[in-house]
Every structure is written in C-alpha cells, then in structure tokens.
Amino acid sequence: MSDAWDGLLARWRAGAAERERERDLPFAAVDELRAQRFGALRLPRTVGGAEASLVDVLARVVELAEVDSNLAHIWRGHIAFVEQLRWDGWHTEAAARWLPRLAAGDVVGNAFSERQETAQLTTRLTDTGHDGLRVTGTKHYTTGSLYADWVHVAAVDASGERVALAVRSDAPGVSIVDDWDGFGQPLTASGTTILDAVAVDPGDVFPLGGHDEDRHRVIGGVYQLTLLAVIAGIARRAVADTVAFVRPRRRTFGFAGETRPVDDPLVQVVVGEISAAASAARRIVLSVAADLDAAAADHDGAALRDIELDVYRAQQTVIELVLAATSRLFEVGGASATSRTLGLDRHWRNVRTIASHNPVLQRVRAVGRFELDGTLPAWQAPGAPTGSLATGSVT
C-alpha cells in the first residue's frame, strides 16, 4: 500500500464514531479518495488505472470499512458501474466515453431503486424532440449519489424498455436529499434523488443487459460482495474497538477482582470469537471475489452459475457471523460497553442495515432449492415484475 493510502486510513480512522453520532458527512474523505483515484483502480494502465484485480479492490474496501463503514459503502455503485464497463469491453463506445472521466477521478453514484407497491420502474426517459432526451422520476436508497459527480439511473424509455443512464449530479433538475433515516450507515446519504426533466446525453444511455444472465451474475455478484466486504471491515473494526475498550479496564462483569479484564478467560473467549469471525468474513469475501473475477475474465457461464450460488452462501455465512460477533462484543464490559460515546453499538446497527439490502432468507432459500432439485436462481433486470423465483435483482 502507498504512503498516501495509509495516511488516508489513519486520518479517517480517528473520530469515526463521533462523525456518525453527529451525522458529519465525509465529503472531505471522498475528495481525498477521488484525488487518490480510488475509483480508477480497475481501469487499464493505458489511461492511468492500476488494472487491479477485483480482490485488490475489495481488499481495499475492507480496509476502508474498518476505518469507516459509511465511507466504504459510498463506493458500491461506482465499483459496480466500472465492472459493467469492464464486462462490456474497454473497446466499446461507452468505455471510450467513460474511461477519461473515471481516470480523472469522477465518481458515480447509484439511483436504481424506487419505493413502489410493485417492482415496476416509474422513472421515464422521454425524447422531447426539440429539447432532446429528458429523464423524470424519484429514486430512493441512492447510496453515494450526494458525494458523486454522476448519478447512474434506471429508467423506462418510450418503448417500455428498461435502460440505464447517467446524468451529472449537479445538472439542472437534479435534487439529491440526505433524508436517509435508517438506524445504520447514516453517512452514506442513501436518501432520495429527484430528477425533474433532466437533460440526458444519448451517449450516456446504456442497455441494462437484456437477457445476458452472465452479465447480471457478474454485476450482481460485485454489488453483493462489495456489501460483504464492508461487513468484513466492520468486523475488523469491532475487534479493534473491543480490544481498545478492554485493555485499560480494571474490572469487569460488575465486580472488582484480582484478575484484570485482559486476563479474564471469559473476556478472552469473547474477543477470540470476534477475531475469528472477522478473519473468516474477510477470507470468504476475497475467496469468492477471486473466483468471480476469474470466471468473468473467461466469460465462463457455467462457472458464473456456480459462483452466483457461492455469493448467496457467502451472504448467509458472513452476515450471520458478523451479526453475532457485533452483538457478542458487549459481553466484555457490562453496561459501560453501551456508552454512546464509545459507539460500539454502531457496528451491529451498521451490519444489520447493510444486511437488509438483499434479504438473506430469500438467497438461502434459492440455495436450498438448488440443492434439492437443481433449480437455478432466476435473474431479473431492475424494475422487472418480481417472480416467485426471482432472487437475482440488485438493490
């Protein structure tokens, strides 16, 4: 790792609990990451990228999440956007248009989800003729868009086809509101994005992949593994914060004694459990990422079908491990461990919030059905009607 990267981690590690408590949005940290071209790691060296592997990128996401889980989560949409360009090919017109932007440090936020009674998209892309293409709609859970230069949007065009498009976040008609009220990940600005007849360049309209299930499996895997990498980073921070809490203490479990908490076997067991969960979570995420990267590079459809299920299995395993660990950590210090100033509760709240993005039970059910009768999860594009087996759409 570079000195600049290590310095960034050190600077933003301090005060993470306070920033979250005070809702102090990390614009400056995102600017530092933009300046370090964090979002260009996967780009070709010919444009100034690092040609990093997916494992390298997600390993950095784990490190960033250990510093501040909000800061790492902000980049999820950007990472997936780059992966879509990579899958479609660096030789495409879209890549020729976007590589210079991304290499210069531009950040892409996500605005795919809507709050509707059905999964149908209501955001519309229309051709006005004299004023060109315009997009209108309201998006929710638009993680990272408040910090981004561009917003990646799902919409329906005049023919009823689902499309993706990108608009400048500061374009006339774009309003991004920090109204996310979840009890976790409060600094991700996962709130509302309103698009009011925003002008769209035809060159920034993309297909959503149609029936290319391999593409959906790759992008869906990247979306989910990025979340799991954030959770793995939270687990590592939970270990560090728990150790920092225990080491200076002179008493535990409500009574004083001859044994310091650091020497107490019960405390040692709890810390060991949290450490084991953190290590396992990181290794699971990076192992599955390595397999996904290799299969995507080869466009190996059979391998991608297997890895899709491994992503689902990882989702179940990592989330359950870390949720348990971030709840268990309170056993090391009694009531004092619940201090709001310490903010140890944020680890469980943040994992629980991230885990709600794609229901674990739905994914586990898909794995179970596959094991029983060989039925693969059914992929559906964002905004498609939800079928009984549809487990691959990404939010």
pLDDT at position 75 is 98
Report which secondary-structure segment, H or E, holds 198.
strand 192-200
Residue 133 near residue 91, CB atoms below 8 Å: no
Read off the tokens for 12.
């933003």
Read off the tokens for 14.
């301090």
Give CA–CA dist 275/273, Å, rounded.
5
Helix, strand or coil, per DSSP, at residue 12 = helix
Cα separations in angstroms, 280 against 62, 120, 122, 312, 364? 13, 38, 41, 16, 19
DSSP string, 50-108: ----HHHHHHHHHHHHHH-HHHHHTTHHHHHHHHHHHHH-TTSHHHHHHHHHHHTT--E
Model-level pTM? 0.94
pLDDT at position 357 is 85
Give CA–CA dist 389/378, Å, rounded.
6
DSSP string, 201-255: -GGGEEE--TT-HHHHHHHHHHHHHHHHHHHHHHHHHHHHHHHHHHTT-S-BTTB
Distance of CA 146 to the CA centre of its chain: 15
Give CA–CA dist 353/373, Å, rounded.
32
pLDDT at position 22 is 96
Residues 375, 377, 382, CA angle at the centre, nearest 5°? 155
Using alpha carbons, select from 19, 382, 309 the residue that is nearest to residue 187. 19
Residue 347 near residue 326, CB atoms below 8 Å: yes
Q: Which residue has the tokens 């680890």?
A: 347
Gyration radius from the chain CA atoms: 22
pLDDT (tens, 9 = 90+) of the chain, 395 residues, equals 589 999 999 999 999 999 999 999 999 999 999 999 999 999 999 999 999 999 999 999 999 999 999 999 999 999 999 999 999 999 999 999 999 999 999 999 999 999 876 667 899 999 998 899 999 999 999 999 999 999 999 999 999 889 999 999 999 999 999 999 999 999 999 999 999 999 999 999 987 766 789 999 999 999 999 999 999 999 999 999 999 999 888 765 555 555 688 888 889 999 999 999 999 999 999 999 999 999 999 999 999 999 999 999 999 999 999 999 999 999 998 788 899 999 999 999 999 999 998 889 999 999 999 999 999 987 655 445 444 334 444 55
- Number of neighbouring beta carbons within 10 Å of residue 259: 13
Read off the tokens for 330.
């309170």
Give CA–CA dist 346/261, Å, rounded.
23
Is residue 47 exposed (0-12), middle (13-18) or buried (19+ Cβ within 10 Å)? Answer: middle
- Backbone dihedral region of 219: left (phi > 0), alpha (psi from -120 to 50 degrees) or beta? alpha
